[in-house]
Amino acid sequence: MGDNTPTRRQFALGLSATVLLPSPALARKPQPKARALKLYNPNTKERFDRVFHDGGRLLAAAQDELNWFLRDNHEQIQTSMDPAVFDLMWRLADWYRRRGKGRVTLNVHSAYRTKKTNEALRREGAAHNSRHLSGQAVDLTVQGYGRVFLARAALAARRGGMGLYAGGRWVHLDTGPNRYWFRRR
Ligand SMILES: [Zn+2]
């Protein structure tokens, strides 16, 4: 045996040291962040308050519940909402949370609309080809906060369309092309 040959004992220690080293991939993997929503519908008085996304994927049971919660409540008809709408609402609420406002409640005044309901609402300013018809839009206010704060939050959170209406209380958010508008009713 030469001088540089490790003894059996040194070899065993070296081996166990290698095995005990934590894998960097395991040690540094960030925990996925669950996304929750707290919603209230002033028309139906219904509430939604739960995690809808586990950070990796949308939760099927919560998705079903949200599709019903966001239904056309004039006709009691639901659709498959664009899941990006859930994330839009979550980002809006998160904007308040990051400013120390806690978990705010979003009031959902209108979401999915059937053609019939949308035509009836056109007298109130609803667009003919409204994204509400395809389950891609929500009209919101935030409990306890005014329109100016809401508009700032919506501008920061939006990835899609945002509409504000003179005299209207809520902000319209949709998952269409990136744009915003201020309009008289
Ligand atoms: Zn709208």
Residue among 136, 54, 77 nearest 62 (CA): 54
Is 150 in contact with 171 (CB distance < 8 Å)? yes
For the whole model, what pTM was predicted?
A: 0.80
Dist. CA 174 → ligand 1 center (Å):
8
Dist. CA 163 → ligand 1 center (Å):
7
In the chain, where are the structural domains located?
82-185
More confident of the two residues 149 and 53: 53
What's the pLDDT at 27? Answer: 58
Residue 144 reports pLDDT greater than 90: yes
Neighbours of 10 (CB within 10 A): 10
Dist. CA 98 → ligand 1 center (Å):
26
Residue 121 reports pLDDT greater than 70: yes
The CATH number given to 82-185 is 3.30.1380.10
Burial class (CB in 10 A: 0-12, 13-18, 19+), 106: buried
What's the pLDDT at 180? Answer: 84
